[in-house]
Structure 1
Amino acid sequence: MKQFFATLILILSINSSIAQDSAVKLGVSGLTHGHVGWILSRDSQTDIKMVGIVEPNKQLAQRLSNEFGFSMDMVFDTMDEMIKKVKPDAVAAFGNIKEHLNVVESCAPKGIHVMVEKPLATNLEDAKKIEALAKKYKIHVLTNYETSWYETNVKANDLLEKGTIGDLRKVIIRDGHKGPKKIGVSDEFLEWLSDPILNGGGAITDFGCYGANLMTWLMKGKRPNSITAVTQQLQPENNPNVDDDATIILTYDNEMAILEPSWNWPIGRKDMELYGTKGAIYSDNPTQLRLRLSKGYSDYTEETFLLGERQKPFDDPFSVFAAVINNQLILEPYNVYALENNMITMEILQAAITSSKTGTTINLKSN
């Protein structure tokens, strides 16, 4: 019996070693993004192994090292230094949005895959350079959105595809919170979130990208015909250099969308409403969805769905990243993570920013 358990322990140890060896070696570029805790606090799994971090701000790195327990020995000053030393298979970008292009420029020629936090870039020009590099060097470039993890959004799309609410006519997507300063983000995060160059704008980019991304997914990659946007600055004392409230209207042949990104919501939210010819779907939050079907003029039936987390690997962005890299997962066209979706998302954001600055409607149909 002792021999049996000794053999079993040896087998488990060998399997664990093999799993670690086959794990995607992940580098992290930047620690200033407030979402970086998602990877630093991630439970130990066999699909991803964090091998290096690029962060020149050693005071910030030490603070996070104390909080999350990673060794300062794995922190480097530059991407080139980190890549040369630990040879990552992939890099996750957690710096400012403007740095996304620099990360891809460093990684793509070496065949290193990249995942960035939303949005893909600060402007369409940088996004096109990222796309060209990804195609030239045949790497994956994924964009991570929190709403990609919402089972309610998947359920809403399934109901729409089944024709449950009839033909789609209008979508309303609301995203945001009280504002970065009011919710107490770190100084390092606030510094670039409120910078029009490093973030590409304020709420219009920080939260407008969610709606543009989801709408592109729902429309299966169809570009809007026109984009009209207005922005306001309702907290000049907190956001002196960028907008903090926006409304973006997208028109399609038979549908329209209203995106409402804001740093002025009294309660944080990421919700979506789909209106069809027969009823409506309310994706209230990550776990609750309501379905209303019309009965006459104003009457309706209502069904509430209480859902759990998405199934693996979709419950975790790093698991998705690893599965894509290992050819265990092929994302369907215009998936929310996919580059082709996020190129259209950037086209929408760029047009929205231009519209808000010029007071005109931007027509894409003729482009």
Structure 2
Amino acid sequence: MRKIVLLFILCILFMVPQLSKSQAKKEPLKVGVIGLTHTHVHWILGRPDRGDIKIVGIVEPNTDLAKRYSKQHGYPMDIVYSTMEEMIKAVKPEAVTAFGTIYDHLEVVETFAPLGIHIMVEKPLAVNIEHAKKMKSLAEKHNIHLLTNYETTWYATNHKAYDMVKNGDIGDLSKVVVHDGHKGPIELGINKEFLDWLTDPVANGGGALPDFGCYGANIIVWLNNGKKPESVFAITQTFKPDLYPKVDDEATVILKYPKMQGIIQASWNWPIARKDMEIYGKKGYIFSDNRSDLRYRLSEDDKEIKEKLEERPTPLDDPFALLAAVVKGEIELPPYDLSSLENNMIVVEILEAAKESAKTGRVVPLKQ
């Protein structure tokens, strides 16, 4: 009998650390939200509780804005801080998400990277290549994850299209055309706090070009396995100078690859909002019409097939679920993944070349 009791006790002692380890894995990632002026912040504030993240602090010096969103989303004002330093003293986030100006991304990385705190920023990664290089250096020095979030990263259609391209279903790529835009931020009635910097050439790095051109650059680099284009040519215009006197509201960018072209169309002038792309191969095409509707024709002899896709599995369906999985080591991003630092460094380089091309009227070669 004593042997049985002793064996039972040993089993319990053995299970306790195992249970603790299992429970630790299920603990939500402690996240700080840095800034509320980017309206994409509603994505994380209004997100259903999936048990994967917990917002432990919010940094927003605009108290009126913080109170307004507190009433809308129900977070307590006692987790809101005026500065990043105040939040750091009060709570210890494992990761932060940046929802302020694109220019401010560098300061966020400068503040949190040395503390070993992981970071996700809204697209694009940075306002220019100088900022991007500093951010990359800090991320590598302090061994943190630095991810960039795009809405289109979570489109099941884009991922099926990618898999079809990699499988050779339409033959070698010949052209990719990406459309991203809407009627314009002012026309959409975007709040003043967002407009104040979205239409500022310093805080946002431009207008429609960085705001929407980054999507196409991100996807085209991904489809090309992280390869840079040989050159960039761009035209930007401002069709509504009365509304957007300081920045472009229309942009077309051409990326030249050895055997294909990438065309990026970014607009604040389209009557109907769109985020879609056309992929052409030597044999067929794939059209990603939106998040769930995909069309493709694999050859001239085949009929067009239409599919409505389900959401991708967790955590590949949501930026903050992915952030938690990456930080906890449950997922390792593939090379040049849409969210990855190496992909988004090239995106910033493309955007900077596009600005130079639009300004000079010349084709801008990229260093390989």
Place the TM-score, normalised by the shorter chain, in its bin. over 0.9
Percent identity, aligned pairs only, is 57
CA distance 1:355–1:44, shift in 2 (3 Å): same
Q: Please say if 1:336 is aligned against 2:338.
A: yes
1:356 alignment counterpart: 358
- CA separation in 2, counterparts of 1:82 and 1:293? 53
Report 1:187-266 matches (<5 A): 187-266=192-271
Match of 2:293 in 1: 288
1:356 aligned partner, one-letter code: A
The 8 Å contact of residues 122 and 198 in structure 1, kept in 2 or not, is answered as: yes
Q: Is the 8 A contact 1:20 1:49 kept in 2?
A: no
d(CA) in 2 for partners of 1:63, 1:199: 24
Task: Supply the distance in 1 between the matched residues of 2:134 and 2:152 (Cα, whole angstroms).
Answer: 26
**SS at 1:281 equivalent:** strand
- Which residue of structure 2 lines up, in the alignment, with residue 4 of structure 1? none
SS at match of 1:155: helix
TM-score by length of 1: 0.93
Q: Specify the code of the residue in structure 1 equivalent to 2:264.
A: L
Tell me which residue corresponds to 2:347.
345
Matched with 1:10 is none
Alignment of 1:136-147 (within 5 A): 136-147=141-152
Q: How large is the RMSD of aligned CA atoms in angstroms?
A: 1.5
**Cα distance change, pair 135–121 in 1 and its aligned pair in 2 (3 A):** same
- Deviation at residue 260 of structure 1 after TM alignment: 0.2
Do the aligned partners of 1:20 and 1:46 also contact (CA within 8 Å) in 2?
no
For the 8 Å contact 1:98–1:122, the answer to whether it is kept is yes
Does the 8 A contact of 1:19 with 1:46 survive in 2?
Answer: no
Counterpart Cα distance in 1 of 2:87 and 2:310: 38
- When structure 1 is superposed on structure 2, of 194-203 and 229-238 the one drifting more is 229-238
Inter-partner Cα distance in structure 2 for 1:126 and 1:192:
17
1:18 offset after TM fit, Å?
A: 4.8
Q: Please, which moves more after superposition, 38-47 or 164-173?
A: 38-47
Q: CA deviation at 1:294?
A: 3.2
- In 2, Cα distance between the equivalents of 1:335 and 1:326? 18
Letter in 1 for 2:139: A
1:293 deviation in Å? 3.1
5+ residue gaps, structure 1, are 1-13
Residue 308 of structure 2 corresponds to which residue in structure 1? 306
- Which residue of 1 is the match for residue 87 of structure 2? 82
**2:320 matches 1:323:** no
Give the match's secondary structure for 2:205: coil
Provide the residue aligned with 2:166 in structure 1.
161
AA in 2 matched with 1:25: K
**2:346 is matched by which residue type in structure 1?**
I
Instruction: Tell me the distance in 1 between the aligned counterparts of 2:23 and 2:60.
Output: 30
Equivalent residue number for residue 29 of structure 1: 34
1:159 and 1:88 map into 2 onto residues whose CA distance is 39
**Deviations 1:309-329, CA, capped at 9 Å, x for gaps:** 111101110000000000000
Cα deviations by residue, 1:140-177 (Å, 9 ceiling, x for unpaired): 00000000000000010111111111111000000010
Q: 1:308: Cα distance to partner?
A: 1.4
Show structure 2 runs of 5+ residues with no match: 1-18
Residue of structure 2 in register with 1:96 after alignment: 101
Q: What TM-score results when the alignment is normalised by the length of structure 2?
A: 0.93
Task: Note the C-alpha offset of 1:35.
Answer: 0.5
What is the letter of the counterpart of residue 314 of structure 2? K
Give the SS at the match of 1:45: coil
The amino acid that maps onto 1:49 is K
2:156 aligned partner: 151
Q: Is the 8 A contact 2:26 2:52 kept in 1?
A: no
The CA distance in 2 between the partners of 1:87 and 1:160, in whole Å, is: 43
CA distance in 2, matches of 1:169, 1:18: 49
- Alpha-carbon separation, structure 2, partners of 1:120 and 1:71: 30
Secondary structure of the 1:323 match is: helix
